[in-house]
Amino acid sequence: MSKIERFEDLEVWQKSRELVLEYKITQPGGEKFGLASQIRRSAVSVAANIAEGSKRQHLKEYIQMLSISHGSLSETEYYLLLARDLKYLSDTKYQELFNRSEEIGKMLSGLINSLKT
């Protein structure tokens, strides 16, 4: 494995960070506050676990952290779906964010597979 010097250089981390920056769709208010908080936490977890894993000493640990990141991404996708179903997100905004998360998921899978070989 070529050592990752800076997690910030990973395109998958950059795209995960961009997804987190969509906080503006989860402005606290009323009943949706709990869901907004869940979206924030799970989206932050995606990028945070990529960053943490990149500094792990062993490849197996790095792959595990990427897998956790992938799980957090799936959690985020569910919360976005729920937000759309509850009419907190428009169909258009939901589809935009879902497409971005799907791209991140493919990138995570690719990175995991490349590290395993």
Residue 89: the pLDDT is 87
Residue 44 belongs to domain spanning: 7-116
1 inside domain: no
pTM for the full model? 0.77
Whether residue 75 is predicted with pLDDT greater than 70 in this model: the reply is yes
2 inside domain: no
DSSP result, 31-67: GGHHHHHHHHHHHHHHHHHHHHHHT-SSHHHHHHHHH
Residue 22: the pLDDT is 65
Residue 21: the pLDDT is 61
Question: From CA 32, how far away is CA 85, in angstroms rounded?
Answer: 12
Q: What is the CATH number of the domain that holds 81?
A: 1.20.1440.60
16 inside domain: yes
93 inside domain: yes
Number of domains in the chain: 1
